[in-house]
Copies of this chain bind each other. A is one copy, B any other.
Amino acid sequence: MEIDYSKIKVIGFDADDTLWVNETYFRDTEEQYANLLEGYETKNKIDQELFKKEMDNLELYGYGIKGFMLSMIESALELSNNQVSQATIRDILNLGKGMIAHPVELLDGVHEVLKVLSKKYRLIVLTKGDLLDQERKLEKSSLSEYFHHVEVLSDKKEENYKNLLEHLEINVNEFLMIGNSLKSDVLPIINIGAHAVHVPFHTTWQHELVTIEGKEDDYLKINSLREVLNYLD
């Protein structure tokens, strides 16, 4: 089903890796984490074990840096057989604190696109993860002025989107979501009958990878955020 752009009234933006860089910092931290533990396992095994630990803890911790920090510590203890040094655990805590305090790095074209679209559409931010962390990033980003509403969700499944659109009194056919994750920003959106634009980021977390078959016509794929202005203006 092709998108009828003339019907769109509200545009939802994902934040991490759509408005600003995020996944890159996780990859960098994983790299440093593997270096800290290189005496115990291969880099590959360290990566794998950490990802497994994150998945095991996801239901308990949810998304965000604090849960990632706790999983890094737990995985380090396990794969070193409790041999990892206390100093290394402190280093891991500091890696995580550095991530939380990291400056916000906007992606190319974000200001320009939001400035244009905010004149014609109601813009909202729909992100998942840690509430405080996402509020802080939005504040640091100086993008708040463009948005009517910011919602931090504990997850981005069909049910979360349905409840939110209902709560904000937005019709599904008037809603367009823009984001970098097929799994979180595109699939659940087209499944509830709303519209989606996929803007891939060069790095995607393993947990967010999905394959889509036969649904390629149901959403728009663009290479950079600026291209969205060819469809909406």
Binding site for B on A (CB under 8 A): 60-62, 66-67, 69-70, 73-74, 77, 80, 82-87, 89-90, 93, 96-97, 100-101, 130-133, 135, 149, 152-154, 167
Contact = CB atoms under 8 A, between A and B. Distances in A.
Number of copies: 2
Those 7 A-B pairs whose CB atoms lie nearest each other, nearest first: A62-B132, A82-B86, A66-B66, A132-B154, A131-B131, A131-B154, A135-B154
B73 A66 contact: no
A119 B71 CA distance: 44
A80 B86 CA distance: 10
Given A70-B93, A90-B77, A101 B60 contact: yes
Q: Main SS of the interface on chain A?
A: helix
Contacts of A100: 60-61
B152 A167 contact: no
Contacts of A93: 70, 73-74, 77
A149 B84 CA distance: 46
Contacts of A77: 86, 89-90, 93
Contacts of A152: 131
B82 A90 contact: yes
Contact of A69 (B70, B85, B101, B135): B70
8 contacts: A61-B100, A66-B67, A73-B89, A74-B90, A77-B90, A77-B93, A89-B89, A132-B154
